């Protein structure tokens, strides 16, 4: 049995968001967070999305890597100032 490693597209699918590459890029570009705001505290998540992200971060498994990548991407503008 082969196990697929989670990717950003899989994460967006799990969050119920458009998982196409252009949609992911647009989401990241239009949902940038200030440096002091935790990703899981962003206003745009639903409660179930917030819980999913928090669980995956705490799991420290392969999903945590992808969630961390999203977190870094959502804070990209605030870290380059």
pLDDT reading at 1 higher than 50:
no
Alpha-carbon distance of 57 to 25, in angstroms, equals 21
Going along the chain from its start, the domains and CATH numbers come out as 8-29+43-79 (1.10.10.1130)
Question: Quick one: pLDDT band at residue 74, thresholds 50, 70, 90?
Answer: very high
Distance of CA 61 to the CA centre of its chain: 15
Question: Quick one: pLDDT band at residue 3, thresholds 50, 70, 90?
Answer: low
Q: Are 28 and 72 spatial neighbours (Cβ–Cβ below 8 Å)? A: no
């Amino acid at each position: 049995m082969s196990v697929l490693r989670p990717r950003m597209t899989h994460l967006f699918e799990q969050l119920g968001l458009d998982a196409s590459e252009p949609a992911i890029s647009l989401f990241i570009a239009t949902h940038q967070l200030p440096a002091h705001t935790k990703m899981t505290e962003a206003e745009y998540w639903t409660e179930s999305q917030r819980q999913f992200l928090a669980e995956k971060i705490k799991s420290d498994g392969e999903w945590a890597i992808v969630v961390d990548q999203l977190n870094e991407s959502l804070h990209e503008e605030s870290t380059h100032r």
